[in-house]
């Protein structure tokens, strides 16, 4: 049983309102991962100051020479996430600590906006900035002893804060420059979060109204179609077809219902015709049985001759009733697809040869010649059922070929499966009768022999195996019935056998 997925109305509301509310979710998320402009500035200034103080202490200690100083500045850079340099009066860098921190969650999200190259960095800023000797912060630090400030660069996407401190060292005067950068890829979005929130709240109302209107437009044709289908529950096959003038999708659904109803109506018509045919065929033998019963139950015993005639009539009618009932049951099961019956692979050529041998021994076919051209091919079938189908086709061909005629049987592998062709040398089938050959109770055998169910049963059995049966009959050249079956495997050789009587 399929699991319910909820109301289409609720799903539509959920989708539309989720889309409208998406900006609110985005704003809430960015609030968690980025800072405001003021927070970012304070944070950068604080780290730049810490870096400057730590670097100044390392310079003033100066316990291990230039190499030890560089290592100390590298440690300050790594611990504080800053770049620190010691600069002389000519703007030359005496020592440099430059360990950029690993990319944070903010940075990785920013790459969605800035592409694979990522947002701008302090390194990129240094490449575009003037030489150190020409920078205002360095000149002010030498002149006033200290300078600190923050600025936005690259269109406001990078915040750079610095602290420059004048420091005496080795008998001279130097400046310790500490820089901290903060990437502001989301800052513009953060700054407008409240206007966006207000706009989104308003859009929620508009979205709700829009969703209501769209849902009514979408569901109204479905509800109308539902009412039209339910109105037919008492007489589903009567009345006109369901109108299909709705939107395209609903029209296709209505068309599918009409196709289903047409198929049910056709099946009902076939079942009605089936029962009508059955009743018609049973009436004659049943009438004979009733007549015999009335005679035998009348006053006085019938004569011996009459009793013998009544007995023969009862026996003939009983056999016909038994044959009709058996064939009707077989036909009904075959038209239902022969469910729950096990299929197995058999050699179609071997089956045909066995059936021909049995027909050759039948005295009714004395003088009739059978020729078999057989390629061993495997077919996946219900053995006894397919035997009935082939026997009925062979019996039909033999009855029309006549005593001096011939029946030709060919078993072959064809593209898409295998085929059994049965041809006779009889007079053929009249063109006006070809469409009726497989109808129940149709027969044009001489004297009206047969029940008219043999070919109908053969067709139903073959189709129940996924195959097909067809007939062609050129005027005056006999008839050829072709049974086709789906592929299983193909034979490797063929042989021609003449099983004419007496040989």
Q: What is the pLDDT of residue 35?
A: 52
Q: Among 288, 314, 335, where does a domain finish?
A: 335
Residue with tokens 């096959």: 237
Q: Among 307, 335, 363, where does a domain finish?
A: 335
Instruction: Choose the weakest-confidence range: 269-273, 346-350, 461-465, 478-482.
Output: 269-273
Where would I find the beta strands (DSSP E) of 129-288?
Answer: 146-153, 158-169, 172-183
Q: What is the pLDDT of residue 32?
A: 53
Instruction: Provide the mean pLDDT of the chain.
Output: 79
DSSP at 489: B
Residue 8 domain-assigned (yes or no): no
**Which residue, among 185, 39, 180, 44, has the nearest Cα to 106 in the 3D structure?**
185
CB neighbours of residue 64 within 10 Å: 12
Average pLDDT over residues 173-181: 89
Tell me: do 67 and 48 sit in the same domain: yes
**How far is 33 from 24, CA to CA, in rounded Å?**
15
Confidence of residue 353 (pLDDT cuts 50, 70, 90): very high
CA distances from 3 to 6, 37, 459 (A): 9, 51, 40
- The sign of the torsion formed by the CA atoms of 447, 448, 454, 455 equals positive
Residue 406 domain-assigned (yes or no): yes
DSSP at 468: E
Tell me: do 265 and 407 sit in the same domain: no
Number of helices and strands in the chain (H, E): 13, 13
Q: What is the pLDDT of residue 154?
A: 80
Q: Among 159, 185, 211, where does a domain finish?
A: 185
More confident site: 368 or 20:
368
Per residue in 238-287, pLDDT (tens digit) is 667 777 666 777 778 888 888 888 888 877 777 777 677 777 777 777 88
Residue 386 domain-assigned (yes or no): yes
Tell me: do 265 and 367 sit in the same domain: no
Tell me: do 306 and 387 sit in the same domain: no
Q: Which two tokens stand for residue 273?
A: 């015709």
Q: Which two tokens stand for residue 93?
A: 């860098």
Q: What is the pLDDT of residue 188?
A: 55
Residue 133 domain-assigned (yes or no): yes
**Structural domain boundaries, residue 39:** 35-185
Tell me: do 380 and 489 sit in the same domain: yes
- Name the burial class of residue 128, with classes exposed (0-12), middle (13-18) and buried (19+) by CB atoms within 10 angstroms of its CB: exposed
Domain at 57, CATH number: 3.30.450.20
Number of domains in the chain: 3
Residue 131 domain-assigned (yes or no): yes
Identify the H or E element spanning 420. Answer: strand 417-424
CB neighbours of residue 318 within 10 Å: 13
Residue 319 domain-assigned (yes or no): yes
Per residue in 1-12, pLDDT (tens digit) is 444 455 667 777
**How far is 401 from 428, CA to CA, in rounded Å?**
9
**Which residue, among 89, 93, 94, has the nearest Cα to 143 in the 3D structure?**
89
Residue 503 domain-assigned (yes or no): no
Tell me: do 401 and 280 sit in the same domain: no
Domain at 258, CATH number: 1.10.287
Average pLDDT over residues 389-397: 93
Where would I find the beta strands (DSSP E) of 91-220?
Answer: 93-98, 146-153, 158-169, 172-183
Tell me: do 319 and 385 sit in the same domain: no
pLDDT at 309 over 50: yes
pLDDT at 494 over 50: no
Per residue in 114-168, pLDDT (tens digit) is 454 456 788 888 888 899 888 999 999 999 999 999 888 887 778 889 999 998 8
Task: Tell me the backbone φ, ψ of residue 23, rounded to 5 degrees.
Answer: -60, -35
Q: What is the pLDDT of residue 492?
A: 40
Strands 378-381, 468-472: parallel, antiparallel or unpaired by DSSP?
Answer: unpaired
Tell me: do 393 and 277 sit in the same domain: no
Confidence of residue 315 (pLDDT cuts 50, 70, 90): confident
Tell me: do 60 and 114 sit in the same domain: yes
Identify the H or E element spanning 483. Answer: strand 480-485
Q: What is the pLDDT of residue 468?
A: 95
Q: What is the pLDDT of residue 250?
A: 75
Task: Tell me the backbone φ, ψ of residue 212, rounded to 5 degrees.
Answer: -60, -45
Tell me: do 439 and 383 sit in the same domain: yes
Domain at 398, CATH number: 3.30.565.10
Per residue in 407-440, pLDDT (tens digit) is 999 999 998 899 999 999 988 898 898 988 888 7
Tell me: do 374 and 444 sit in the same domain: yes
Tell me: do 302 and 368 sit in the same domain: no
Residue 355 domain-assigned (yes or no): yes
């Amino acid at each position: 049983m399929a699991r319910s997925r909820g109301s289409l109305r609720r799903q539509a509301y959920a989708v539309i309102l989720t889309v409208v509310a998406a900006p609110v979710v985005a704003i809430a998320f960015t609030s968690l991962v980025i800072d405001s402009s003021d927070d970012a500035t304070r944070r950068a200034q604080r780290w730049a100051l810490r870096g400057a103080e730590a670097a100044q202490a390392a310079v003033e200690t100066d316990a291990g020479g230039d190499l030890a100083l560089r290592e100390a500045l590298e440690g300050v850079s790594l611990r504080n996430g800053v770049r620190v340099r010691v600069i002389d009066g000519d703007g030359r860098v005496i020592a440099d600590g430059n360990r950029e921190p690993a990319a944070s969650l903010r940075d990785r999200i920013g790459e969605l906006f800035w592409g694979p190259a990522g947002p701008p960095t302090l390194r990129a800023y240094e490449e575009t900035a003037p030489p150190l000797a020409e920078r205002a912060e360095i000149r002010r630090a030498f002149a006033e002893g200290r300078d600190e400030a923050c600025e936005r660069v690259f269109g406001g996407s990078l915040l750079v804060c610095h602290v420059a401190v004048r420091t005496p060292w080795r008998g001279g005067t130097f400046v310790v420059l500490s820089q901290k950068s903060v990437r502001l890829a989301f800052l513009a979005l953060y700054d407008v979060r409240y206007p966006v929130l207000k706009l989104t709240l308003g859009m929620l109302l508009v979205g709700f109204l829009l969703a209501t209107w769209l849902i009514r437009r979408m569901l109204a044709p479905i509800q109308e179609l539902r009412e039209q289908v339910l109105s037919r529950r008492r007489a589903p096959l009567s009345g006109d077809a369901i109108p299909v003038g709705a939107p395209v999708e609903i029209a296709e659904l209505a068309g599918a219902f009409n196709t289903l109803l047409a198929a049910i109506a056709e099946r009902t018509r076939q079942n009605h015709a089936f029962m009508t045919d059955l009743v018609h065929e049973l009436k004659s033998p049943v009438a004979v049985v009733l007549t015999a019963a009335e005679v035998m139950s009348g006053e006085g015993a019938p004569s011996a001759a009459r009793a013998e005639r009544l007995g023969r009539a009862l026996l003939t009618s009983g056999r016909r009733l038994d044959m009709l009932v058996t064939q009707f049951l077989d036909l009904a099961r075959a038209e239902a697809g022969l469910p729950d019956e096990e299929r197995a692979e058999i050699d179609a050529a071997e089956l045909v040869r066995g059936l021909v041998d049995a027909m050759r021994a039948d005295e009714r076919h004395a003088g009739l010649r059978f020729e078999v051209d057989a390629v061993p091919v495997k077919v996946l079938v219900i053995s006894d059922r397919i035997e009935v189908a082939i026997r009925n086709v062979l019996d039909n061909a033999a009855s029309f070929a006549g005593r001096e005629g011939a029946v030709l049987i060919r078993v072959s592998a064809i593209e898409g499966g295998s085929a059994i062709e049965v041809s006779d040398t009889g007079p053929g089938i009249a063109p006006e009768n070809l469409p009726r050959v497989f109808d129940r109770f149709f027969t044009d055998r001489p004297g009206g022999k047969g029940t008219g169910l043999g070919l109908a049963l053969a067709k139903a059995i073959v189709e129940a195996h996924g195959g097909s049966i067809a007939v062609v009959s050129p005027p005056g050249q006999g008839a050829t019935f072709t049974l086709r079956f789906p592929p299983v495997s193909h034979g490797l050789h063929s042989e021609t056998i003449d099983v004419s009587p007496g040989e």
